[in-house]
Structure 1
């Protein structure tokens, strides 16, 4: 995806061209149209499609779907779970989160949805708001210094892992597999699981389940209005994986999880075809823009991340919403385009970096080998099982601090506060709002305490 913003010099009008029509790009189109910005979307494919199955709309972005009325379009496809259970690979329950408690605390839902349904809903909403979407339109090169048939004041690149825009700005940057970690993905019809006397125990309620093992985990949850059981199966390979590997032998997948809980193993054995997905990370980059501030990146083009916190698409959607607020200020004559891009970079770059790091840490927590660190992790989760109040948990999905930092984040509030601070600051004095906390709170703390202490009851 590549977004191109046409700024009409001497006027308070902004025309935005978005090349690519993925979830992040179309979300940006919605946010820009709501800011009264004209938008044209150019998609290389012959039709609008979204690759993949599941996606979590955690509370930090479910609130955007509500504000943008996308939720009304796809409401029949949205699933809300009752609880999250953290288990050892043998099925032993270590941690628990009451999802309705999180939702009530934040005033927002936690939704699970099929990517195709979400993508369709976002596309429908963008069209209703007046965004023009054209397929069979491909951008193959970019020159941000020379003029041509049309000259743009700003080009925004959201063209994913293989970004043309990023390679133009930063030719030496490549998405990297930081470790040998990768993932299988699969979906199984619930009806089939109900027919299995062992596996059906797992679907008595709508839950998210995580099975944690040494260098491997499985996370499952319902999608497609509860008709499909989604699995993401994290594991390591002897070598790094840099591209999707289709048609992985199912025997290889099954051997990877042969020692897991018999209930989930039964479901894994139902998988008849799968692919291995690379987990590639981009950056952190020193800049998301050209020196002239006429080209800027977003989404996976700027900050692709591992999947352990379900924040890749969410962060891209936040990028689009934040920049739309900045461009809206340009339309209103409150900000120059250069300053809008500066503000976007200063505020969004540290937030994306935080998400990248917390995602790494959560994956590491879930894949700890048996030993003192694993025992400390489990002890820190233990109060969850008794529904005891605590201010820290190694179950990051339910950890109160993470809930506030990640799921409680409101990009609208952040953008409005940043705009106010930025416009009131002297020209060279704006230092940002300081949104990145220390990462020690997420993992290191529970490893430094004896395993026999009630870590979470601080």
Structure 2
């Protein structure tokens, strides 16, 4: 059996590894001249680690990453609204929250494939090119060519009105003791520890008419936020800036011999930190159950997470002062145990195949 995976990002490579380990002959087509991963850090929640464990790669990824031991949500003044017991997450779900550089995860997946499977500088322009493959996997991102060719009436991605910034700091001499996400009015800024004294920082905000872009824009927007945010920004040299889109729900992720996964199927806002995690779930599920069971196991789950992420994104970026005050009070009054229980359906995923 021959499989073509279109797109050499994390989801596509994970699908290729999963299929390869089940005996498929796999090719991965990547339009760029080289396989690589742009970006900064990545949060791998227990469901993603469980998917990586299915691929035999979880222990390696854990070695490359850092375990987040503490964190929570703060208000604009820096006061804690809620705290997260990450030890309890590991107790409930068997894996901790791991923070890893996207490039390290990408390289780990690449190393699990034979070099003969990798076809850089190869773009899909017509489905005629896929003749001879028993399975075609569209893992080619938000603006998927596979989705456009095979789902011509599918809804197009919709702009959320927000922008994201992602960075990795240089090593800090006095790193913060724990991570946090700080909610402001229309903006938020989060940070979490990585290996080597570095920190992964992520921010989102409503699009505003800033004259500068990139790191200057990020510093201008967040320079007066509570410590350690200014200190983290001072230790930052590069930033990845992207406008945020999500994808309206598709009726199916599988059609004939073609399947979509990751952002090509269910692009979502980053508020839950589940984009890559869901792509990893997609990859191992598709390899395990094939096209026949893929929609049954993935469609409802992923679309529910897209909606949940969109709601959290909207709430965390409220800007009307009375709404911001009400949001912060509600967060402060919500018991930590209730927050953990609410995440159980997301983090407790297992490969049911």
Q: Paired residues, what number?
A: 353
1:248 aligns with 2:230: no
3-state secondary structure, aligned to 2:253: coil
1:406: how far off? Answer: 0.5
1:255-287, Cα deviation, whole Å (9 max, x unpaired): 322442143123334445534211111221123
1:389: how far off? Answer: 6.6
CA contact (8 A) 2:6 2:140 kept: yes
Higher strand share: 2
Match of 1:52 in 2: 39
CA, structure 1 residues 32+110, in 2 after alignment: closer, same or farther (shift >3 Å)? same
Out of 183, 191, 207, the residue aligned to residue 212 of structure 1 is 183
3-state secondary structure, aligned to 1:214: coil
CA contact (8 A) 2:19 2:26 kept: yes
1:295 aligns with 2:276: no
The correspondence of residues 357-372 of structure 1 with structure 2, limited to 5 A, is 357-369=307-319, 371=321
1:356 aligns with 2:316: no
1:95: how far off? Answer: 0.6
Match of 1:39 in 2: 26
Out of 301, 310, 317, the residue aligned to residue 280 of structure 2 is 317
1:61: how far off? Answer: 0.9
CA contact (8 A) 2:7 2:30 kept: yes
3-state secondary structure, aligned to 2:50: helix
CA contact (8 A) 1:303 1:352 kept: yes
Whole-angstrom distance in 1 between the partners of 2:159 and 2:236: 28
Give 5+ residue unaligned stretches, structure 2: none
3-state secondary structure, aligned to 2:332: helix
3-state secondary structure, aligned to 1:190: coil
Structure with the larger RCO, 1 or 2 (CA within 8 Å, 6+ apart): 2
Give 5+ residue unaligned stretches, structure 1: 1-13, 195-199, 240-244, 328-340, 394-398, 417-458
3-state secondary structure, aligned to 1:126: coil
1:62 aligns with 2:56: no
CA contact (8 A) 2:71 2:180 kept: yes
Whole-angstrom distance in 1 between the partners of 2:122 and 2:163: 30
1:25: how far off? Answer: 1.2
CA contact (8 A) 1:79 1:226 kept: no
CA, structure 1 residues 20+255, in 2 after alignment: closer, same or farther (shift >3 Å)? closer
Whole-angstrom distance in 1 between the partners of 2:197 and 2:116: 33
The correspondence of residues 4-403 of structure 1 with structure 2, limited to 5 A, is 14-127=1-114, 132-143=116-127, 150-173=131-154, 175-191=156-172, 194=173, 200=174, 203-205=175-177, 207-223=178-194, 225-238=195-208, 248=213, 250-290=215-255, 293-327=256-290, 341-369=291-319, 371=321, 373-382=323-332, 390=337, 392-393=338-339, 399-402=340-343
CA contact (8 A) 1:41 1:132 kept: no
CA contact (8 A) 2:39 2:240 kept: no
CA contact (8 A) 2:214 2:241 kept: no
Which deviates further from its counterpart, 371-380 or 153-162?
Answer: 371-380
Whole-angstrom distance in 2 between the partners of 1:61 and 1:275: 23
User: TM-score scaled to structure 2, two decimals?
Assistant: 0.89
CA contact (8 A) 2:54 2:284 kept: no
Match of 1:444 in 2: none
3-state secondary structure, aligned to 1:121: helix
Whole-angstrom distance in 1 between the partners of 2:336 and 2:266: 35
1:117-142, Cα deviation, whole Å (9 max, x unpaired): 11111121234xxx842233513322
CA contact (8 A) 2:73 2:182 kept: yes
CA, structure 1 residues 83+262, in 2 after alignment: closer, same or farther (shift >3 Å)? closer
Out of 345, 348, 352, the residue aligned to residue 405 of structure 1 is 345
1:77-112, Cα deviation, whole Å (9 max, x unpaired): 210011112100211111101101111111112110
Match of 1:9 in 2: none
CA contact (8 A) 1:175 1:281 kept: no
1:151: how far off? Answer: 3.5
CA contact (8 A) 2:3 2:133 kept: no
Whole-angstrom distance in 2 between the partners of 1:306 and 1:149: 31
CA contact (8 A) 2:169 2:235 kept: yes
CA, structure 1 residues 287+211, in 2 after alignment: closer, same or farther (shift >3 Å)? same
